[in-house]
Structure 1
Amino acid sequence: MTTATNDGPVAGRVSRGLGWGLGGTIAMRVGSVLFGILVARLVAPEEFGVYAVALTVWTILSTLADLGLGADLVRAADMEPRAPTVASIGLGVSVSLGVTMVLAAEPIALAFGSPESVDVIRLMAVSIAVFGFTIVPSARLTRAYRQGALFGINALGLLASVVVSLGLILGGVGAEALACGQIACQSVIAVGLFVVTRTVPRLGYDPALARESLVFCLPLAAANLLSWLLLSLDNLIVSRTLGPEQLGLYVLAFNISSWPMSALGAAIRVVALPAFSQASSPEVRNRGLVLCIAPLVTVSTLISLGLAAAAIPLVTLIYGDRWEPAAAALTGLAVFGGSRVLLDLVATFLVAAGETRAVLAVQVAWVLAMVPAMVLGVTRWGLAGAGWTHVAVVVAVVVPLYLRALGKVGIPPGELLRPVVVPLVAAVPAAIACIWFNGLGSNRLLTLVGVAALVLALYGLPLLRWWRARFTQLRRLEPVSVPEGTPS
């Protein structure tokens, strides 16, 4: 084992990886948002609802296609002996899931109450099969903290999706255009990963390594599946209760509410997993999580507060007046979106600590609580009920269970709860001021600008010095160690 100093190569790679990851995901989110705006202007809500059904199915199955194999490679002391076996398992799983998606397209579409989605679901199955090729090269880049390379590859994938989708939409193709764009995106990413890592697909199978990987991966795969199922069952409930058009509105609101998760969560996750896994001791690993909480809560609350307070002007000014009903769901979903950043960090920490079964247990309880609550929320309060149901379940069920799981690995609940008091209490006066300003009846552009100014003036600026002090503590944490065999 070799340990880096604070100025050594590992600390520098972690810092650069986080910088590239955060900057890259923000850039990708901006690109995705701009693309979404174009799509919203060109595609009617009912057509987007048809695509949303296929996207829901694709999201669930793509999560299962990974099977947690990428995380297993990132955690391994030496990934190269495992890579051919993992590649074979991953490709076999993804192709099988793609075939299943094709064969089950009709009953799935009928379950959503959207028979028009059959062909779109079948098209999306192609990208599931392609996904299997990306697991090993993506893990190589993640292990090496090469977030700049991952950003470039994903940017090319997004560009391919935009070109293909918009070309077909302008040519008169409906929801199928977006599915073809997804296929183009996944194909470009797969090719780009192999080009950048200077490798080719290499298959093999070692029964002992396969068993070892699956012991770690299967609970994680089940947990990931349940996690995305949580973010998809609401689509099913909304579609069956309120119809595909309302589903299109809800998915748009959910996509906006995911901005904090997309900008922060994705960037932090790919750096946090190797960093926590390679920590020099369990004490350093645990201290790292505690020090992450305060700055992360502050930033995620800032973003989600702004989204919730400016829901109506944000939706109508960017996407058009016909999407205004989506704002009803966005208010609660924005709060949920901020909480997802923190929950994802905790789950990543537990995976790095080898506690995949604890993550699975939380996801099972989450699903069991969310389904009846979502049915009640949607039935009684429509889209608004769907958004706030997520928040209620997180507070009542998910947070207590994660605190219990963290307690078992040596982090008392009080150590995690104390850092969140200041940023959450500070959000209260800012939220009250935003509600008051929204009630003045100003035009939408003025409301959007005013809410942004209030959030910055009453929340962001007062907490800036406090946030910087906590972030400095995190940067001074003892560095991680690097297992021998880790690629540079």
Structure 2
Amino acid sequence: MTTTTSHGTVAGRVSRGLCWGLGGTIAMRVGSVLFGILVARLVAPAEFGVYAVALTVWAILSTLADLGLGADLVRAPDMEPRAPTVASIGLGVSVALGTTMALAAEPIALAFDSPESVGVIRLMAVSIAVFGFTIVPSARLTRAYRQGALFGINALGLLASVVVALGLILGGVGAEALACGQIACQSVIAVGLFIVTRTVPRLGFDPALARESLAFCLPLAAANLLSWLLLSLDNLIVSRTLGPEQLGLYVLAFNISSWPMSALGAAIRVVALPAFSQASSPQVRNRGLVLCIAPLTTVATLASLGLAGAAVPLVTLVYGERWEPAAAALTGLAVFGGVRVVLDLVATFLVAAGETRAVLVVQVAWVVAMVPAMIVGVARWGLAGAGWTHVVVVAVVVVPLYLRALAKVGVRPGDLLRPAAVPLLAAVPAAIVCGWLAGLGSNRLLTLAAVAVAVLLLYALPLLRWWRARFTQLRRLEPAPVPEGTPS
């Protein structure tokens, strides 16, 4: 039986939200990639490395600025009573973090052995302060599965970033131009969210609601901080071990490897969180995760195969020959990028189940294992070692811990591993052929086309019927009721 509301079936709302989310994030990713290609051809690797230092710090602090407050609002049966309190907390945290980032710019830059980054770090701090305004209106759109509106707002933000950054770059401004573009992007997004939701910033403070929200949010905020920290400490290690120019190459490779996460992960997360949170029972919620694993692993593995197999021709054809050394890191990072998509869904599921402390435990263990492994990997194998270190740590430490956390909420490890095994095993022959093709010749365009054909014929087409059957099972899962008070 399908639940209906004044806005149609819940399954339909989720499907539309997912379609908009996937389409929107892919379009945004394409736009960002095109912008990145243009920047790579206008800005030298050393200058991009300076911006990469500021971007690393910004990524960590912007994650902490959210504090998990958006997820708390999405999970709440009725978000409106707690929205003013959450808005006050979020704005206070973001302004404090932005101020701290600006004041600590010099020691941060010295820690990365990049004194040229001081001014860029201070500029990026402004966008951190603006972020606090976006938490509440963004949660309103997420609860209502209004991914189309979110896409439109983010597209305007990207457009503002491109116009400002390119204008300044062409005017002779270096890395600071990219930071100014980020400020423009965040400002346009904040204004757009309030216009679309037809609301204005509303502040307030209820101590009881604040304590309740923080009890849920603080472990999640710490987990998110550690998540970005472990994706940023590698930048610090690469910078201090190999130098800022090598950092620029590594960041470019990491950005490419994040394409699956940027497209699939971001779109799925904003739909999965309200869907899992609003499930009619823990059994339906758990069944939903199990049914998601097979189709998601298939698509994520497909993306990883393509990026890893075509690392050298992809980097050189798209970004230019001077960026070819980045391909050494991209091969391992591409595998890691696909794994991140699946792990992100698992973390989102645990957050929806209220298990934010379990997510925090996994992130702590991840960081503790990754830092020494990354130091050894970079020192011995350079950029390639940095990429594959992520894969090894995930396989040895992270996956077993997540399976243990899932077992505590009733999801048996075997129920997840069995459907995931099929696409992973099917990828082996395709990976072998792609590796052979990559070493055949120097014609980059021909190699790229050959790898694409191999992935299609040896992996995508043989698994197509299997994937469609699993996806159909997922669509037939019992839908969840829509909580009252959810805005349209």
TM-score, normalization by structure 2: 0.99
Aligned partner of 1:391 in structure 2 is 391
Cα deviation, 1:290-345, whole Å, max 9, x if unaligned, reads: 00000000001001100000000000000000000000000000000000000000
Aligned partner of 2:420 in structure 1 is 420
Matched residue of 2:477: which SS? coil
Cα deviation, 1:268-301, whole Å, max 9, x if unaligned, reads: 0000000000000000000000000000000010
Q: CA deviation at 1:3?
A: 4.8
1:429 is aligned to 2:443: no
Aligned partner of 1:130 in structure 2 is 130
Aligned partner of 2:158 in structure 1 is 158
Q: CA deviation at 1:69?
A: 0.2
The equivalences for 1:58-207 within 5 A come to 58-207=58-207
C-alpha contact 2:3 2:9 (8 A) present in aligned 1: no
Tell me the distance in 2 between the aligned counterparts of 1:67 and 1:16: 28
Amino acid at match of 1:239: S
C-alpha contact 1:316 1:324 (8 A) present in aligned 2: yes
Aligned partner of 1:21 in structure 2 is 21
The equivalences for 1:299-338 within 5 A come to 299-338=299-338
Cα deviation, 1:441-467, whole Å, max 9, x if unaligned, reads: 140000001100100011001100110
Identity over aligned pairs, percent: 89
C-alpha contact 1:4 1:480 (8 A) present in aligned 2: no
Q: CA deviation at 1:484?
A: 2.0
Tell me the distance in 1 between the aligned counterparts of 2:421 and 2:350: 23
Cα deviation, 1:11-58, whole Å, max 9, x if unaligned, reads: 211110000000000000000000000000000000000000000000
| More displaced 10-residue stretch of structure 1: 430-439 or 360-369 | 430-439
Tell me the distance in 2 between the aligned counterparts of 1:465 and 1:3: 28
Matched residue of 1:298: which SS? helix
Amino acid at match of 1:447: T
Matched residue of 2:201: which SS? coil
C-alpha contact 2:11 2:475 (8 A) present in aligned 1: no
Aligned partner of 2:265 in structure 1 is 265
Aligned partner of 1:254 in structure 2 is 254
Cα deviation, 1:351-403, whole Å, max 9, x if unaligned, reads: 00000000000000000000000000000000000000000000000000000
The equivalences for 1:195-234 within 5 A come to 195-234=195-234
* Structure 2, gaps ≥5 residues long: none
* Structure 1, gaps ≥5 residues long: none
Amino acid at match of 2:277: S
Matched residue of 1:461: which SS? helix
Aligned partner of 2:401 in structure 1 is 401
Matched residue of 1:393: which SS? helix
C-alpha contact 2:112 2:239 (8 A) present in aligned 1: yes
Q: CA deviation at 1:421?
A: 1.1
Runs of 4 or more, structure 1, over 4 Å off, are: none
Tell me the distance in 2 between the aligned counterparts of 1:393 and 1:266: 23
Q: CA deviation at 1:435?
A: 1.3
Matched residue of 1:478: which SS? coil
Aligned partner of 1:483 in structure 2 is 483
The equivalences for 1:38-77 within 5 A come to 38-77=38-77
Matched residue of 1:410: which SS? coil
Tell me the distance in 2 between the aligned counterparts of 1:35 and 1:91: 30
Tell me the distance in 2 between the aligned counterparts of 1:438 and 1:23: 30
C-alpha contact 1:4 1:479 (8 A) present in aligned 2: no
Matched residue of 1:462: which SS? helix
Q: CA deviation at 1:431?
A: 0.8
Cα deviation, 1:63-107, whole Å, max 9, x if unaligned, reads: 000000000000000000000000000000000000000100000
Q: CA deviation at 1:486?
A: 1.9
Tell me the distance in 2 between the aligned counterparts of 1:286 and 1:9: 21
1:357 is aligned to 2:357: yes
C-alpha contact 1:74 1:139 (8 A) present in aligned 2: yes
Cα deviation, 1:457-478, whole Å, max 9, x if unaligned, reads: 1100110011000000000001
C-alpha contact 2:87 2:136 (8 A) present in aligned 1: yes
Aligned partner of 2:274 in structure 1 is 274
Cα deviation, 1:185-235, whole Å, max 9, x if unaligned, reads: 000000000000000000000000000000000000000000000100000
Aligned partner of 1:411 in structure 2 is 411
Tell me the distance in 2 between the aligned counterparts of 1:442 and 1:100: 49
Aligned partner of 1:449 in structure 2 is 449
Amino acid at match of 1:269: R
Tell me the distance in 2 between the aligned counterparts of 1:54 and 1:386: 20
Aligned partner of 2:296 in structure 1 is 296
Tell me the distance in 1 between the aligned counterparts of 2:301 and 2:285: 24
Amino acid at match of 1:279: A
Q: CA deviation at 1:9?
A: 2.8
What RMSD in Å do the two structures reach over aligned CA positions?
A: 1.0
Tell me the distance in 2 between the aligned counterparts of 1:351 and 1:270: 12
Q: CA deviation at 1:8?
A: 4.2
Tell me the distance in 1 between the aligned counterparts of 2:3 and 2:276: 14
TM-score, normalization by structure 1: 0.99
Matched residue of 1:397: which SS? helix
C-alpha contact 1:233 1:371 (8 A) present in aligned 2: yes
Aligned partner of 2:368 in structure 1 is 368
Tell me the distance in 1 between the aligned counterparts of 2:162 and 2:439: 38
Q: CA deviation at 1:169?
A: 0.3
Tell me the distance in 2 between the aligned counterparts of 1:108 and 1:172: 25
Amino acid at match of 2:54: A
Tell me the distance in 2 between the aligned counterparts of 1:435 and 1:85: 54
Matched residue of 1:485: which SS? coil
Tell me the distance in 2 between the aligned counterparts of 1:8 and 1:465: 29
Matched residue of 2:81: which SS? coil
